[in-house]
Amino acid sequence: MSIKRFIAGAVCPKCSEMDKLKAWQEGGMQYRECVACGFTDSMSLEAPEELPTRVNQAQPDPKDEIQVVKIFDGKTQ
């Protein structure tokens, strides 16, 4: 069920080896494992406090500018 993937550029906090950390999610938890020294870590996914989940809502709608242009376009001539 769980897919273990290597984290590109990640450094193991225990042995400082790069690209040795595998990560996977299981049961609402994020796990990390170092294949070099056997280090394991886990953190909960239930409280995503630092995740930028509001990126789409914060972006302005580009259609607003297009509508303004159309209003002036009808009054020319």
**Residue matched to tokens 């950390």:** 21
Cα dihedral across residues 21, 35, 4, 49: positive or negative = negative
As given in the structure block, the two tokens for residue 43 are: 């953190």
Nearer to Zn ion (CB atom), residue 27 or residue 38: 38
Residue 12 DSSP code: -
Site for Zn ion in 46-65 (CB under 5 A): none
Site for Zn ion in 10-39 (CB under 5 A): 12, 14-15, 34, 36-37, 39
Nearer to Zn ion (CB atom), residue 29 or residue 37: 37
Nearer to Zn ion (CB atom), residue 31 or residue 39: 39
User: How many other CB atoms sit within 10 Å of the CB of residue 55?
Assistant: 8
Tell me the closest approach of the beta carbon of residue 59 to Zn ion, in angstroms.
39
